[in-house]
Amino acid sequence: MRSLLLISFLFLTCTFCYGQQIAGRFFVHGNFFGSHIKTITFNYNDADSGHVIKRCPVIDQHFTFSGSVSEPTLVYVTGDTATNDVDDVNYSEFFIEPGNIQITLREDHFKEMKVSGSKTQDEKNKLEQSKQELYHLQRPLDSLLSEYNKMLRNISYEDTLKYNAIADRRAGLITKIKKYTRQGFAIDRRFIASHPASYLSPYLLYLQFHSQNLKIDSTRLYYDKISPLIKQSLWGRELARRLDILGIGEQFPDIKGVSTENKQLSIPDLKKSDYTLVVMWASWCVPCRENAPRLMKLFNKYHSKGLNIIAISADSSKKDWLAAIKEDKLQPWQHLLADLHGGIVHKLGLYGIPAEILLKNGVIINKYSGADNNNTGLNSLESKLDQIFVNN
Domains of the chain with CATH codes: 6-116 (2.60.40), 132-243 (no CATH), 256-389 (3.40.30.10)
Q: What is the structure's pLDDT at 86?
A: 75
Q: What is the structure's pLDDT at 55?
A: 93
Q: What is the structure's pLDDT at 94?
A: 97
Please write the tens of the pLDDT for every residue from 255-312: 888 889 988 888 777 766 789 999 999 999 888 998 899 999 999 999 999 999 999 9
Q: What is the structure's pLDDT at 264?
A: 87
Residue 7 has pLDDT above 60, yes or no: no
Task: Tell which wins on pLDDT, 382 or 49.
Answer: 382
Q: What is the mean pLDDT of residues 182-195?
A: 96
Q: What is the mean pLDDT of residues 22-33?
A: 91
Say which amino acid occupies 151: M
Query: Using 50, 70 and 90 to split pLDDT, how confident is the model at 342?
Result: low
Return mean pLDDT, the chain. Answer: 86
| Residues ≥6 apart with Cβ < 8 Å to 190 | none
Q: What is the mean pLDDT of residues 365-380?
A: 74
Q: What is the structure's pLDDT at 34?
A: 94
Q: What is the structure's pLDDT at 77?
A: 95
Q: What is the mean pLDDT of residues 14-19?
A: 44
Exposed/middle/buried for 75, CB within 10 Å: 0-12, 13-18, 19+?
Answer: buried
Task: Tell which wins on pLDDT, 253 or 56.
Answer: 56
Q: What is the structure's pLDDT at 82?
A: 63
- Cβ proximity of 300 and 157 under 8 Å: yes
For CA atoms 234, 128, 183, 4, give the dihedral sign: positive
Task: Tell which wins on pLDDT, 131 or 346.
Answer: 131
Please write the tens of the pLDDT for every residue from 113-167: 999 999 999 999 999 999 999 999 999 998 899 899 888 888 876 778 888 889 8
- Cβ proximity of 266 and 255 under 8 Å: yes
Rounded alpha-carbon distances, angstroms, from residue 10 to 14, 86, 123 = 6, 11, 23
Q: What is the structure's pLDDT at 351?
A: 62
Rg, C-alpha atoms of the chain? 22
- Facing residues of 309 across strands? 277
Q: What is the structure's pLDDT at 327?
A: 94
Residue 181 has pLDDT above 50, yes or no: yes
Residue 63 has pLDDT above 90, yes or no: yes
| Residues ≥6 apart with Cβ < 8 Å to 188 | 127, 204, 207, 208
Residue 315 has pLDDT above 70, yes or no: yes
Residue 183 has pLDDT above 90, yes or no: yes
Query: Using 50, 70 and 90 to split pLDDT, how confident is the model at 17?
Result: very low
Best CA proximity match to 187, nearest among 2, 372, 386, 51? 2
Query: Using 50, 70 and 90 to split pLDDT, how confident is the model at 392?
Result: low
Task: Tell which wins on pLDDT, 380 or 21.
Answer: 380
Q: What is the structure's pLDDT at 5?
A: 41
Rounded alpha-carbon distances, angstroms, from residue 59 to 39, 66, 101 = 9, 16, 18
Q: What is the structure's pLDDT at 250?
A: 81
Query: Using 50, 70 and 90 to split pLDDT, how confident is the model at 13?
Result: very low
Q: What are phi and psi of 60, to 5 degrees?
A: 55, 45
Lowest mean pLDDT among 77-91, 221-235, 376-390: 77-91
